[in-house]
Amino acid sequence: MKIKKYIGPTMPEVMKKVRKELGADAVILNSKVIYTGGFLGLFKKRNMEVVAALDPQPTKPKFEEKSTPIIPISTSTEKENDKQQVLLDEVRAMRKWMEKTTSNEVDVFPPTYQAVVDLLLEQEVNLDIAQEIVADSIETNSTEDTTYELAKKQAGEAIDKRLARNDFGGVTYYKKFVHLVGPTGVGKTTTIAKIAANCMLVDGKKVALITTDTYRIAAIEQLKTYSKILDIPLEIAYTIDDYRKAREKFKSYDIVLVDTAGRNFRDAKYIAELGKVVDLEHDIDTYLVLSLTTKSTDLDVIYNQFENIPIKKLIFTKKDETATYGAILNLALKYQIGVAYLTDGQDVPDNIEEATSKKISDFIVGDSHA
């Protein structure tokens, strides 16, 4: 039996080396994260180390073994053969497991951790992120006697740790003007009303509203209704000049929430005109509102459609209409951006909560889907 160690930057690359040299019958005996290179203990590179094996002479089928003459051998030889047989049996068992877990080019981890990879994939976490999360879990924890629940907990902690590097939580009042942008139909208008109600009722702030979404009469009427219920002023800005006047009118307020049309901020001309009125980098905070019912690949496209403006944080709506939350992790890690709020219904001022890295990690690994 041939056993060899392989090292590479990622598991897929290592597996390519294994298959190229040992073929499709190779099995993985062990895999782990290692750090190599560096200078004076710094700048070490993260790699995957895999121990693979190949049995060049598999044992013959049982019906052939029965027809083979029995030749007496010494006790010591019997013991060596027994050890070799045990090892071969283990290799074959692991081969069956590997064939199952690598049929879709999924990374190879110990069975308990592979199950966690599968869970993350079901949550629509990108494959490379799922593999990195589980690799982090293995690196920082002992893999001996690890149950599935413990492996999930470890993965949740790894997710929380990664997300915590980003900025989470709701409005901070550092900026007076807060714009909500996003595609039509994600619930921007209702979300603005929820944020306004919380700013006024919970934080005791003086709040005003502006809407530039003049394309949809229903959106204006909806925001008018909210403004009357909450008893806060609303200005409708049909032009950039209207917007400028509304800003001036509300300059004494603690926070001014601005509802925008679904396509405004994808229009370069609109951005250029707005840039003449406000400093997009310093005057305002802009939150991108996205629906969790949107496909993960589409969310990525939408995010890039708003590349003309600096996005402060993300807001995810319709949490109650889905059971998969991996898209939050994918976007947050890819663009190094935090999440402000999660919403899960139409009730104002309820059905909104400030996001934290811990909440999101719990949603993804299944500890809390409330």
241 has pLDDT over 60: yes
The number of C-alpha atoms within 13 Å of 145 and in the hemisphere containing its C-beta is: 0
62 has pLDDT over 60: no
94 has pLDDT over 80: no
Residue 21 within a domain: yes
Q: Does one domain contain both 122 and 268?
A: no
Distance separating alpha carbons of residues 37 and 44, to the nearest angstrom:
5
pLDDT at 307: 76
Q: 111 preceded by cis ω (within 30°)?
A: no
Residue 73 within a domain: no
What lies within 8 Å, CB to CB, of 154 at 6+ separation is 137, 140, 141, 146
Residue 292 within a domain: yes
pLDDT band for position 110 (cuts 50, 70, 90): confident
State which residues form the domain around 322.
177-365
Residue 113 within a domain: yes
For residues 216 and 49, the model is more confident at 49
How many domains does the chain fold into? 3
Q: Does one domain contain both 41 and 117?
A: no
Q: Does one domain contain both 332 and 225?
A: yes
Residue 80 within a domain: no
Residue 49 within a domain: yes
pLDDT at 317: 94
Q: Does one domain contain both 36 and 133?
A: no
Residue 34 within a domain: yes
Q: Does one domain contain both 40 and 159?
A: no
Closest CA to 340 of 278, 285, 280: 285
* Average pLDDT, integer, range 212-238: 85
pLDDT at 15: 80
235 has pLDDT over 60: yes
Spell out the SS3 assignment of the chain: CEEEEEEECCHHHHHHHHHHHHCCCCEEEEEEEEEECCECCECCEEEEEEEEEECCCCCCCHHHHHHCCCCCCCHHHHHHHHHHHHHHHHHHHHHHHHHHHCCCCCCCCCHHHHHHHHHHHHCCCCHHHHHHHHHHHHHHCCCCCCCHHHHHHHHHHHHHHHHCCCCCCCCCCCCCEEEEECCCCCCHHHHHHHHHHHHHHCCCCCEEEEECCCCCHHHHHHHHHHHHHHCCCEEECCCHHHHHHHHHHCCCCCEEEEECCCCHHHCHHHHHHHHHHCCCCCCEEEEEEEECCCCHHHHHHHHHHCCCCCCCEEEEECHHHCCCCHHHHHHHHHCCCEEEEEECCCCCCCCEEECCHHHHHHHHHCCCCC
134 has pLDDT over 70: yes
* Average pLDDT, integer, range 208-226: 83
If 0-12 CB within 10 Å is exposed, 13-18 middle and 19+ buried, where does residue 144 land?
Answer: exposed
Q: Does one domain contain both 250 and 296?
A: yes
79 has pLDDT over 80: no
pLDDT band for position 42 (cuts 50, 70, 90): low
Mean pLDDT estimate for the chain? 80
**19's tokens:** 């298959």
* Average pLDDT, integer, range 86-99: 55
Contact 318, 183 (CB under 8 A): no
The number of C-alpha atoms within 13 Å of 66 and in the hemisphere containing its C-beta is: 3
Q: What is the pLDDT of residues 169-205, one digit of tens each?
A: 999 999 999 999 888 888 888 999 999 999 999 999 9
pLDDT at 219: 72
Radius of gyration of the chain (CA): 28
Q: Does one domain contain both 196 and 274?
A: yes
For residues 14 and 225, the model is more confident at 225
> Which position has the token pair 């200005």?
235
pLDDT at 70: 40
pLDDT at 31: 72
CATH of the domain at 302: 3.40.50.300
pLDDT band for position 14 (cuts 50, 70, 90): confident
Q: Does one domain contain both 212 and 288?
A: yes
370 has pLDDT over 80: no
* Average pLDDT, integer, range 31-38: 71
Of the residues 163, 192, 225, the one at which a domain ends: 163
Q: Does one domain contain both 201 and 322?
A: yes
Q: What is the pLDDT of residues 262-310, one digit of tens each?
A: 666 666 777 666 666 666 777 889 999 999 999 888 899 888 888 778 8
Distance separating alpha carbons of residues 228 and 305, to the nearest angstrom:
33
